[in-house]
Amino acid sequence: MQNKITLLEIKKYLKKKGFVIFKQVKKKNIEKNSFNSLSRTFISSLIIISAFIIFPVVTDFFERGVLVSKNFENNSKNNFNKTLNNKNSKLDEDLNNTYLFEDILQFDQQSTDAVRLSASTIQELFKSTNYNLEDIRKNKLVKPISLTFLPEEMKQIENIKKRKDLFIKIILPLVIQENNFIKMDRKKLFSILNKSKNTKAEQKWLNLKFKQYGVVNNNLSTLKIRMDETPISMTIAQAAKETGWGTSRFAQEGNALFGQWTWSGEGIKPLGAEENTKHKVMKFRVLQASVKAYQRNLNTHSSYRNFRNARAELRDEGKKLDSMVLSEYLDKYAETGKEYVKILQKIIKQNSLTDFDDAKLLPLSIELESLI
């Protein structure tokens, strides 16, 4: 009878011969391992797919400048440019008049030791400094002579041309000087807005200008429209019309060059006015304050919104401030309306006042200060 060979002996024999024996895996374990493997594969695939979807979004998020400071600054500047170039007519509608003339009144209240010079003294001063209108028409350079008062003898100057020339020579430097102040303010405004960040000093300056120009809600576009110059020829023509070339009582007694009214401030009551008349003509201690108040009035009052819009359009088109064009929008300055505009334009033409529109003020010298 042959001996039976067990399964264990067979396995030992095969191992000696180099064969590898695998255990039989139960079907239940195979199914479980297959399921686990499939689950891991599915989760891994989901993560990979999600990464491909999310990565471009995140990349685009960064590229749009939400987290990149350089692009954020550029977008900021673009927003400023959009604000400055906004031509919406509603921008210049609201007005806070609380502080409109506060700085001008403070300037006017400054003590001055100036004395009122006679017409002959002023003419001698102009002659000694070679200050004459013919030279100004040619070279566009104006002597920086700033007088505080008009001479009392304006009416006594019988030669109309001499009276007009004297009046223009007194008013011209004052107008250019005020335009220069506004020009410097506009330059500073655009410099501030071209930056991505502003200093506390710049923010303080902006807040001051918002007050001075009655800007509501710190609207930068409104400030841009209001903070601008007035044409020299138009300004001189209005001063000439309102004062009778410097001879009116308001000009002589109150340095009032433009006939501005006031209901609360210091002023001169018109002759022949009814007893219940509440308005007065604003008076000033110095001529310069009158020019300041006139420009602030044109630059803020609702009656001259069309004037400011027309001026802004000329700026946007790169054109000079044309007094003949802009004076068309001063029909509300006087009760005579369009007739008032015609008179202004006639004064400008007859006296060739546009010759002074490009005039520049010479730097103040020590020699000139001693003469004044």
pLDDT at site 9 = 60
Same domain, 59 and 105: no
pLDDT at site 265 = 66
pLDDT at site 364 = 66
Last residue within a domain, chosen from 17, 44, 63: 63
Q: Is residue 146 part of a domain?
A: yes
Q: Is residue 86 part of a domain?
A: no
Same domain, 111 and 58: no
178: its two tokens: 């005020």
The CATH number for 367's domain is: 1.10.530.10
Q: Is residue 271 part of a domain?
A: yes
Q: Is residue 84 part of a domain?
A: no
* pTM more than 0.85: no
pLDDT at site 212 = 97
Is the CB of residue 257 less than 8 Å from the CB of residue 290?
yes
Same domain, 252 and 297: yes
Same domain, 95 and 174: yes
Structural domain harbouring 16 = 7-63
Number of domains into which the chain is organized: 2
pLDDT in tens, the chain (372 residues): 445 455 566 556 545 545 444 444 444 443 444 445 444 544 444 444 444 444 444 334 333 333 223 322 323 344 445 554 554 446 788 888 888 899 999 999 886 778 899 999 999 999 999 999 999 999 999 999 999 999 999 999 999 999 999 999 999 999 999 999 999 999 999 999 898 888 999 999 999 999 999 999 999 999 999 999 999 999 999 999 999 999 999 999 999 999 888 877 678 887 776 666 677 899 999 999 999 999 999 999 999 999 999 999 999 999 999 999 999 999 999 999 999 999 999 999 999 999 999 999 998 655 444 443
152: its two tokens: 């009392």
pLDDT at site 33 = 47
Same domain, 337 and 272: yes
